[in-house]
DNA sequence: AAGATTACCTGAAGGC
DNA sequence: TGCCTTCAGGTAATCT
């Protein structure tokens, strides 16, 4: 579901809301969601853990716990972390609070962390791609998910960006979205970044001209920062930890605008399949 | 060994 | 109404 701006928004919200709380229990109806150590062990071992702070690494949300332990959550495509109060009613989740995160979202809650103040952190995930890992700081940070991550899109300097991108021969869009090259850019922002830089998504990364690379770099920073300020993009059912929508959706430049006029030249936006995903671009402004 | 494809899952939406 | 196909914010595993 979320890309860098959405994950940053959720991590910041969680940091504000649950730092200092103790975790009193864990529930899941989908044990596979815990890839390390196991759902049962996590439930046993996390009891009493104090949440120190929450940060984002790539698209992973990291809870720093006491005793040098970390809890990692990757929401993948449709995962949402939320803070609220829910009750188990037979095997169905029932919201105790009114608001936008009730009903439909709740039937997809597959994991709950109970907190010492009566509130809960819930992981809802329609497609069940999300994953949780729990262990020592060393264990979690040495997982391939974290270890293989490239530099963060908001942190990376131009020289390193240039070096890493030019080392790949595949399409620039796939390269931008490859978390081992740069971390944090997903399908929505990759499309908007390339449209802004006037670069065709299928252009091989190593064939980019210096000025094209510079534009891509500049717009990566600009667009991601803007989206963070707007608390992300809500397409479909994305919501922040309070159930609110992200406002970047109103600012989308090409993503999901197939057939609509290009905001620069008026030509009809086209869509192609790339690596099993949709790439949206302007055939006039973005030539190979 | 990089690049391309498939797997993981459950819908929603549109065509017939 | 229902069946079939395509698409959905990500990335790891598996191929070639």
How does pLDDT run across A256-275, given as a tens digit for each residue? Answer: 999 999 999 999 999 999 99
Active site residue A2: yes
Active site residue A59: yes
* Contact between residue A26 and residue A43 where contact means Cβ atoms under 8 Å apart: yes
pLDDT number for residue A102: 45
- Taking the CA of residue A3 and the C1' sugar atom of nucleotide C7, their distance in angstroms comes to 18
CA distance A269 to A118: 49
pLDDT (tens digit per residue) in A37-68? 999 999 999 999 999 999 999 999 999 999 99
pLDDT (tens digit per residue) in A8-36? 999 999 999 999 999 999 999 999 999 99
pLDDT band at A93 (very low <50, low <70, confident <90, very high): low
| Chain B footprint bases within 7 A of protein beta carbons | 2-11
| CA of residue A43 relative to chain centroid, distance | 25
Cα-trace Rg, chain A: 20
Catalytic residue, candidates A21, A59, A131, A164: A59
pLDDT (tens digit per residue) in A157-187? 999 999 999 999 999 999 999 999 999 999 9
pLDDT band at A106 (very low <50, low <70, confident <90, very high): confident
Q: For strand C, is any atom closer than 7 Å to the CB of A188? A: yes
Name residues 166-185 of chain A with a Cβ under 7 Å from nucleic strand C: 177, 179-180
- Taking the CA of residue A209 and the C1' sugar atom of nucleotide B9, their distance in angstroms comes to 40
CA distance A186 to A194: 12
- Whether the per-residue pLDDT at A127 is higher than 80: the answer is yes
């Amino acid at each position: 579901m979320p890309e860098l701006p959405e994950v940053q928004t959720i991590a910041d919200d969680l940091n504000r809301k649950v730092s200092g709380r103790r975790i009193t229990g864990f529930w899941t109806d989908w044990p596979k969601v815990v890839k390390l150590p196991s759902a049962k062990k996590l439930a046993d071992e996390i009891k009493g853990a104090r949440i120190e702070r929450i940060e984002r690494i790539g698209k992973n949300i990291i809870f720093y716990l006491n005793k040098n332990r970390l809890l990692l959550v990757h929401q993948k495509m449709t995962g949402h972390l939320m803070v609220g109060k829910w009750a188990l009613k037979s095997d169905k989740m029932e919201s105790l609070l009114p608001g936008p995160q009730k009903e439909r979202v709740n039937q997809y809650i597959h994991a709950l962390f109970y907190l010492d103040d009566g509130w809960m952190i819930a992981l809802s995930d329609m497609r069940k791609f999300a994953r949780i890992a729990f262990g020592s700081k060393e264990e979690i940070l040495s997982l391939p998910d974290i270890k293989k991550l490239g530099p963060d899109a908001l942190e990376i300097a131009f020289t390193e960006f240039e070096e890493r991108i030019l080392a790949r021969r595949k399409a620039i869009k796939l390269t931008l979205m490859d978390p081992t090259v740069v971390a944090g850019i997903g399908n929505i922002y990759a499309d908007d970044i390339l449209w802004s830089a006037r670069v065709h998504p299928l252009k091989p990364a190593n064939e980019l001209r210096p000025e094209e690379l510079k534009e891509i770099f500049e717009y990566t920073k600009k667009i991601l920062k803007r989206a963070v300020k707007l608390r992300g993009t809500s397409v479909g059912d994305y919501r922040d930890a309070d159930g609110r929508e992200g406002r970047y959706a109103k600012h989308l430049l090409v993503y999901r605008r197939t057939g609509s006029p290009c905001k620069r030249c008026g030509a009809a936006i086209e869509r192609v399949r790339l690596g099993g995903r949709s790439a949206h671009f302007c055939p006039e402004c973005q030539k190979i």
